[in-house]
Amino acid sequence: MSTEPEFEQQIPDEDEALDAYSRLVIRVAESVTPHVAAIEMTSTGRRGQVRVGSGSAVVFTGDGYLLTNAHVVAGIQSGRAVFADGKHTDVELVGADPLSDLAVVRGLKSTPPPALLGNADSLRVGQLVIAVGNPLGLAGSVTAGVVSGLGRSIPVRAGEHRRVIEDVIQTDAALNPGNSGGALADTRGRIVGINTAVAGLGLGLAVPINRTTQRIIASLLRDGRVRRAYLGLVSTPIPLDASAVVRTGQKEGLRVVEVIAGSPAERSGLQPGDLVLRAQGRAVSSAESLQKLLFEEAIGEPFPLTVLREGRTFQLIAVPSEMSQQPG
């Protein structure tokens, strides 16, 4: 007679075994993954085709246009996209904008239907988001986390020069370089950002989908480029203390974290630690609120900044230059 204890053999229903969080992540991943491709950009050299850039891309129009990162395409004009179901298409570069780290490519064959774009302006810190990529053809690489910061700007290196990618979303959904260009989705499966691992392995950052980036995307589709005015500062939004609120009438501003050497911001006299309150007479409280003022009409024109420094408010005048489209 066996002395081993007997256990009731029950196989719980899979849906019952999953908690609400897991079911939500699975549902979003299943809805978003078909729209996300692995993308490889190639160049022809002496030894034939050489892979230059790779990552992920998201179908966003019904006629086969895909969004990805500018650093993924690396300025290369052609490549290949492979989808989760194994279908693939050659792609050609339509345009790229290094300042936002966004690029558009076009599929030359049929592609899956477009993903639904949302609006990152509705995001809140602490909100659940799901990152979906397709690194190296491994369909449906999924990580989940929460929004841990909004309105960030990060410096990145391109050749010997430094750029600033503005208004990024920071999450604790870890990314790797193969997930760059993939989708950041909200809990309704709407694409609220394009993931970028440009700042380093494991750091969750995404370029937001909002009115400013919609304008950038429209310019890429129309002209293949975006003429951008460049200031050259790294900033983060912060609330003002009570005394500053009374003096300025504003509740928030942009704290200058870094001023890029040789930039228009440095020439204007802007310094790290300054609090930018207004630009061109408009209140600025996020990287996007500043970025949306820096399109081609601002290039070479006086750009007044209202700055709070050591308790004093004063005016600086910057003259934005044009953002170079060439890496390095």
Secondary structure letter of residue 221 according to DSSP:
H
**Which residue in the list 97, 101, 186, 274 is annotated as catalytic?**
101
CA angle 40, 212, 278 (to 5 degrees): 135
Write down how long the chain is: 328
Can you tell me the distance from the alpha carbon of 167 to that of 174, in angstroms, rounded to the nearest whole number? Answer: 19
Active site residue 71: yes
Contact 215, 76 (CB under 8 A): no
**Which residue in the list 180, 219, 263, 268 is annotated as catalytic?**
180
Nearest in space to 253 (alpha carbons), one of 234, 239, 273, 265:
239
Largest CA distance in the chain: 93
**Which residue in the list 71, 219, 263, 289 is annotated as catalytic?**
71
Element (H, E) at 268: helix 264-268
Active site residue 15: no
Contact 71, 196 (CB under 8 A): yes
Secondary structure letter of residue 288 according to DSSP:
H
**DSSP 3-state of 122:** helix
* Strand positions, DSSP E, the chain: 36-45, 48-59, 65-68, 78-83, 88-97, 102-107, 128-133, 141-158, 161-171, 183-185, 191-196, 204-208, 229-230, 233-239, 252-259, 275-279, 282-283, 303-309, 312-318, 321-322
Q: Phi and psi at residue 141, in whole multiples of 5°? A: -70, 115
Active site residue 180: yes
What residues are annotated to the active site? 71, 101, 180
